[in-house]
Amino acid sequence: MPEILLGAYTLKSHGTKLARIHLHDWLILILLIVIEIILNVIEPFHRYIGPHMLTDIMFPFHEDTIPFWAVPFPTIVLPIIVFAVYYYHRKDVYDLHHAILGLAYAVLVTGVITDSIKDAVGRPRPNFFWRCFPDGKAVFDNFARDVICHGDPRIIKEGYKSFPSGHTSWSFAGLTYLSWYLSGKIRVFDRRGHVAKLCIMFFPVLTAALVGISRVDDYWHHWTDVFAGALIGSTVAAFCYLQFFPYPYDNDGWAPHAYIQMVIAERSGRANSSTVRTEPPATNQADVEVGSYDNNSMRSID
- Known catalytic residues? 167, 221
Are 202 and 179 within 8 A, CB to CB? yes
Are 128 and 57 within 8 A, CB to CB? yes
d(CA 171, CA 45): 25
Bridge partners, 147 (sequence order) = 140
d(CA 111, CA 33): 9
Q: Which are the contacts of 240, defined by CB distance < 8 A and separation ≥ 6? A: 102, 103, 105, 106, 109, 177
**Which helix (H) or strand (E) covers residue 198, if one does?**
helix 196-217
d(CA 135, CA 149): 11
d(CA 53, CA 83): 48
* 59 closest CA partner among 122, 121, 125: 125
Residue 94 main-chain phi, psi, to 5 deg: -65, -45
Are 177 and 205 within 8 A, CB to CB? no
